[in-house]
Amino acid sequence: MHDATEAYIGDIVLPVKCQFPQIEEAEKRLWEIIAGVFDLDPGPFHPSIVHADKVVLATEARDLFNEEAPWVRDLGVEPVEERIMPWDWVYAQEQFIIQYLKLKDERHG
């Protein structure tokens, strides 16, 4: 649920968030509302979640954007060894449908 706010305001990249503190404040207020609806602790996320999120961000920056910007180094983490291999939209759509049908069958099976 740590990215639940993205369903409402989108996934805004860290360098942009750093330039506009209003975005972080809006995310914080939205998270408090979401946490209240789902009876979750609105407090800070567990450090393991924050760490994992940074590792994924560093991995995405390396593999999807070939990013070597200072903000990536400032995360203080290393990307995972395994590389992300992007899919074209046709293959992604096929995989989505396959997974959807699999989950649907398991649920109604």
Q: What is the per-residue pLDDT for 6?
A: 93
Q: What is the per-residue pLDDT for 36?
A: 95
Closest by CA position to 61, among listed 6, 9, 10, 15: 15
Cα–chain-centroid distance for residue 29?
18
Q: What is the per-residue pLDDT for 66?
A: 78
Q: What is the per-residue pLDDT for 73?
A: 86
Taking the C-alpha atoms of residue 49 and residue 53, their distance in angstroms, rounded to an integer, is 6
pTM: 0.71
In sequence order, the 6+-apart residues with CB closer than 8 A to the CB of 55 are 77, 78, 79, 80
Sign of the alpha-carbon dihedral angle for 86, 89, 94, 98? positive
Q: Is the Cβ–Cβ distance between 45 and 56 less than 8 Å?
A: no
Intervals of the chain under pLDDT 70:
67, 109
